[in-house]
């Protein structure tokens, strides 16, 4: 797995319009992990892709009508089968964390990479997802001076709960003992 010009060579590219430039001098030092299921509790990859590309059909599900006008994205999405999709160049600012703060720094989108995993707070993640996540983290660490990995719940406490209690934080700690974790 290698990142060339901000694009991972083995990910499916689906460029989202929901991104911006990072502020001048911003250094990518944080990975933020999320979970997503659309509609809630269902793991349809196409719905997530459509959501990040601003083409979610509001009539397809009542929940979609509530969120179809949101403009959000993540750098990466890992499906239940481990398939990896990249929506935003890692040198760009994806819109994944919203109002957020990590270790006193506001606006985590400015200095983070967002990774969405197909899942929910009460569903264990699949082994195939971890098999994709581990080398993805390594590739990001080779390109950026990553010092921490946090959950969305850690950068937006009280507002977000993902990646949820089923995420295997001990495995992250074993693989990356030098990183700051929640």
pLDDT band at 171 (very low <50, low <70, confident <90, very high): very high
34 exposure class (CB count in 10 Å sphere: 0-12, 13-18, 19+): buried
Confidence at residue 24, expressed as pLDDT on a 0 to 100 scale: 96
Indicate if 116 belongs to the active site: yes
Q: So what CATH class is 3-35+71-175?
A: alpha beta
Confidence at residue 45, expressed as pLDDT on a 0 to 100 scale: 78
Exactly one of 66, 106, 116, 138 is catalytic; which is it? 116
Look at the block and give the residue holding tokens 């979970």. 35
Output the DSSP codes for 111-154: GEEEEEEE-BTTBPPPHHHHHHHHHHHHHHHHHS---EEEEHHH
Q: Give the domain ranges of the chain.
A: 3-35+71-175
Q: What is the mean pLDDT of residues 11-35?
A: 97
The pair of structure tokens assigned to 6 is 């901000």
Between CA 39 and CA 43 the distance in angstroms is 8
- Check: pTM over 0.95? Answer yes or no: yes
Which residues, other chains included, contact 141 with Cβ-Cβ below 8 Å and sequence gap of 6+? 176
Q: What is the largest CA-CA distance in the chain?
A: 47
pLDDT digits (tens, 9 = 90+) for 107-146: 999 999 999 999 999 999 999 999 999 999 999 999 999 9
Confidence at residue 1, expressed as pLDDT on a 0 to 100 scale: 76
Confidence at residue 4, expressed as pLDDT on a 0 to 100 scale: 87
pLDDT digits (tens, 9 = 90+) for 42-94: 997 799 999 999 999 999 999 999 999 999 999 999 999 999 999 999 999 99
């Amino acid at each position: 797995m290698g990142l060339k010009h901000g694009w991972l060579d083995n990910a499916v590219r689906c460029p989202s319009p929901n991104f911006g430039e990072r502020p001048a001098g911003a250094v990518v030092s944080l990975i933020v992990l999320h979970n997503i299921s659309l509609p809630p509790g269902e793991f349809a990859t196409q719905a997530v892709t459509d959501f990040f590309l601003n083409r979610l059909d509001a009539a397809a599900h009542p929940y979609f009508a509530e969120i179809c006008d949101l403009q959000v994205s993540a750098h990466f999405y890992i499906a239940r089968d481990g398939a990896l999709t990249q929506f935003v160049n890692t040198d760009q600012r994806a819109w994944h964390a919203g109002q957020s703060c990590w270790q006193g720094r506001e606006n985590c989108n400015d200095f983070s990479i967002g990774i969405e995993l197909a899942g929910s707070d009460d569903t264990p993640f699949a082994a195939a997802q971890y098999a994709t996540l581990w080398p993805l983290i390594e590739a990001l660490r080779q390109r950026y001076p990553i010092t921490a990995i946090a959950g969305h719940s850690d950068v937006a406490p009280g507002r977000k709960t993902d990646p949820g209690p089923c995420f295997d934080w001990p495995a992250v700690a074993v693989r990356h003992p030098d990183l700051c974790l929640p």
